[in-house]
Amino acid sequence: MQAELSVLVGNAGNWLNEHIRHLESHDIRPVARAANDATYETDFGRIHLQVQDNELQVRIVSPDEAALTTLQGSIFDYLKETDPAVAQRVSWTGVAPAPGQPKNFREMTVQTIRPVSDWMLRMTLKGEDLAPFDQRGLHVRLMIPEAPHGRPLVWPSIDSSGAVHYPDGDDTLTVRVYTIRHIRPESGEVDIDIVRHAGGVFSDWSETAEPGQKVGMIGPGGGYFPAAGWLAIGGDDTAVPAILRILEQREDEAGGQVIIGLHPHQEPQKIELPANFAINWVATSDLVNAMQAVSSPSAANCVFWFAGEAEQARALRTYFKSELGLPAERRSSAAYWRHIKAA
């Protein structure tokens, strides 16, 4: 399935260089690069960018429409971020996004909510056609009405440029990113594990949510699956669902070290480790030190992965890259939430 786009972007050569630099800052590198073009391979398909004079040409080849729509949306968002006027001229040929509900959106219904531990709730959501959510990514955006009302809910819509429009005014949605902890496409169910933290909009909502309530879900997206090799994997409570999914899907026996940070009121959960893994539970405030203290048995065949609060993730991103000198495919450090200091 294929789509193309040609759009005037001013100095297209500069635009391409800037774009490549932007992606490199997120550790995304082209698989092929020439003076006037670059090709990227993603889990959602292949993107080819070419510039000629003032024109940017984009060609996307994806395995299915949901994946294509995801890539068209990300190209649109990037163009809009760099120049909103350019985004207004976006018009796809080939398969253009079908206006209406995005192909990667599902309306889900709360089935059950129960505690996994005293600091985490498990919410099971039910919906249709979930097989695509079992591929290409670990995470989803969940959405609930900002202010509950008795009217039918209004969900996001997409237009033919690939722009996703979220409702506003009385229909505004609270949107948060969560990890799919388990997925059972055959019964149309996903489990989401939600850290309980007072004052969080989604977390507080889940404390009182009831079976039958509707939740919007868009995805999947993101979620770097570490390459084979000895694995140092760590994070705080919000990273536990992603860490467990990664450990459960581990096939090689190289083993590794798990580091999980807990707040003073939290007790460790029972975790089944794959062969040759050890686990250390530490205070969340010590996570950066604990990750930096991990020493891998093989410098050439190790992978470091972290997810947690933004400042810790930033510190470890620099450490993995500059101190350990790990190449992009052997490191990942992601911000899952940001500590907002009281004014």
Verify binding: residue 172, ligand FAD, rule CB under 6 A.
no
Burial (Cβ within 10 Å: 0-12, 13-18, ≥19) of residue 37: middle
Verify binding: residue 339, ligand FAD, rule CB under 6 A.
yes
Minimum Å gap between C-beta 317 and ligand FAD is 14
Q: Do 59 and 1 contact (CB within 8 A), yes or no?
A: no
Verify binding: residue 202, ligand FAD, rule CB under 6 A.
yes
Q: What is the DSSP letter of 333?
A: E
Please name which of 223, 100, 228, 90 lies closest in space to residue 156, comparing C-alpha atoms: 100
Minimum Å gap between C-beta 193 and ligand FAD is 5
Instruction: Give the angle subtended at the CA of 314 by the CAs of 16 and 330, to the nearest 5°.
Output: 70
What are residue 166's DSSP bridge partners? Answer: none
Terminal Cα distance for the chain, rounded: 50
Binding residue (CB under 6 A) for ligand FAD from 42, 203, 292, 301? 203
Verify binding: residue 178, ligand FAD, rule CB under 6 A.
yes
Verify binding: residue 179, ligand FAD, rule CB under 6 A.
yes
Instruction: Specify the residue, 179 or 312, whose C-beta has the smaller distance to ligand FAD.
Output: 179
Cα gap 70→78, rounded to integer Å: 12
Give 81's contacts (C-beta < 8 A, 6+ positions apart).
Answer: none
Instruction: Specify the residue, 39 or 203, whose C-beta has the smaller distance to ligand FAD.
Output: 203
Verify binding: residue 26, ligand FAD, rule CB under 6 A.
no
Binding residue (CB under 6 A) for ligand FAD from 241, 256, 261, 274? 241
Cα gap 192→287, rounded to integer Å: 24
Verify binding: residue 337, ligand FAD, rule CB under 6 A.
yes
Query: Which residue of the chain is nearest ligand FAD when measured via CB?
Result: 200
Binding residue (CB under 6 A) for ligand FAD from 194, 218, 316, 326? 194
Minimum Å gap between C-beta 223 and ligand FAD is 7
Strand order in the sheet with 331-337: 277-283, 256-262, 230-235, 302-309, 331-337
Minimum Å gap between C-beta 79 and ligand FAD is 23
Cα gap 25→213, rounded to integer Å: 40
Q: What is the DSSP letter of 23?
A: H
Q: Judged by CB under 6 A, which stretch of 77-85, 126-134, 151-159, 198-206 contacts ligand FAD?
A: 198-206
Instruction: Specify the residue, 202 or 306, whose C-beta has the smaller distance to ligand FAD.
Output: 202
Cα gap 316→261, rounded to integer Å: 14
Minimum Å gap between C-beta 194 and ligand FAD is 5
Binding residue (CB under 6 A) for ligand FAD from 238, 257, 266, 296? 238
Binding residue (CB under 6 A) for ligand FAD from 47, 87, 113, 195? 195
Interacting residue ranges for ligand FAD, rule: CB under 6 A: 139, 176-179, 193-195, 197, 199-203, 222, 238, 241, 336-340
